[in-house]
Amino acid sequence: MISDKTVARLSVYRRVLLDMQDAGQEHVFSHELAARSGCTAAQVRRDVMATGYTGSPVRGYDVAALAGSINDFLFHSEAQKVALVGIGNLGRALMAFSPRRNPRIPLVAAFDNDAAKVNRVIHGCRCYPVQQLEEVVESEGIRVGIIAVPSAAAQDTARRLCRAGVVGLLNFAPTHVWVPPHVYIENLDLSMALEKVAFFAGLRAPQKEISS
């Protein structure tokens, strides 16, 4: 019923609105929000409609109220605890970022199969051996998993997370991962994204670079 892309944009609007709030701005028009979010005014209005909020034709949207409405819409349920699997280069970067993250989506546990990386706390997040994955995910009630293990281990990691009760996955491994139909999975394939950029860059400047 509610589209994937609308949710993505609402998340962007929310961040922009919080910035506006910090800057003391009280009202915002759809075209303004659109410009700061990289989409069109009509799209903003459609998306806002989905949250049930209604603005005023004169003042536009009330920044605080719209931010609140989007918050209620996006984070309607209780906080969604997150587990990270794979404390490698990427995993550690994600952990370093977590303090700045949304408190409604706390990173509560990390797992690795390398004994040297576990049984400690990084940025407030406890690191466990991967053998304890099921136990910790179930006892903590974790519902979201981040896969940051090598491709070869991705499918098995996904399977274990889903069995343990996870219903949302963020997969960084450049591999297609099968999950049960009730599980939502989002793939963030960085290499693919870079190849895409390189492809279009190649199209846009097919001639040799003219130096300075």
Partner DNA sequence: TAGTCTCTGTGAAACGAATCACAGCGTGAA
Partner DNA sequence: TTCACGCTGTGATTCGTTTCACAGAGACTA
Residue 57 vs 78, nearer CB to a copy of itself: 78
Closest approach of a copy of itself to the CB of residue 204, in Å: 4
Whether 167 contacts 106, CB under 8 Å: no
Measured between alpha carbons, how far apart are the two ends of the chain, in Å?
52
Contacts for 41 with CB less than 8 Å, ≥ 6 apart: 29, 30, 31, 33, 34
CA distances from 145 to 88, 141, 171, 183, 204 (A): 15, 11, 8, 11, 38
Dihedral in degrees, nearest 10, Cα atoms 19, 39, 99, 132? 160
Residue 46 near DNA by CB under 7 A = yes
Q: Could you tell me whether strands 168-171 and 125-129 are parallel, antiparallel, or unpaired per DSSP bridges?
A: unpaired
Q: Which of 20, 55, 149, 173 binds DNA (CB under 7 A)?
A: 55
Contact between 3 and DNA per CB under 7 A: yes
Chain position carrying tokens 């005014």: 41
Selected binder of ligand NAD within 38, 99, 141, 150 (CB under 6 A): 150
The interface with DNA within residues 151-170 (CB under 7 A) comprises: none
- Count other C-beta atoms under 10 Å from residue 26's C-beta: 13
| Residue 33: CB minimum distance to ligand NAD, A | 20
Q: Closest by alpha carbon to 167, among 190, 137, 139? A: 137
For residues 167 to 206, the per-residue mask of contacts with DNA, x marking binding by CB under 7 A and - elsewhere, is ----------------------------------------
Residue 202 near a copy of itself by CB under 8 A: yes
One-letter amino acid at 7 equals V
Binders of a copy of itself among residues 99 to 118 (CB under 8 A) are: 101-102, 104-105
Binding flag, residue 57, DNA (CB under 7 A): yes
Residue 89 interacts with ligand NAD (CB under 6 A): yes or no: yes
Contact between 111 and 84 under an 8 Å Cβ cutoff? The reply is yes
Q: Which of residues 49-88 bind ligand NAD (CB under 6 A)?
A: 85-88
Q: Which of the choices ligand NAD, DNA, a copy of itself, none does residue 40 contact, using the CB cut-off of 5 to 8 A by kind? A: DNA
> Which residues 8-47 are close enough to bind ligand NAD by CB under 6 A?
none
Under the rule (CB under 6 A), what is the footprint of ligand NAD? 85-91, 93-94, 96-97, 111-114, 117, 130, 148-151, 153, 157, 172-174, 190-191
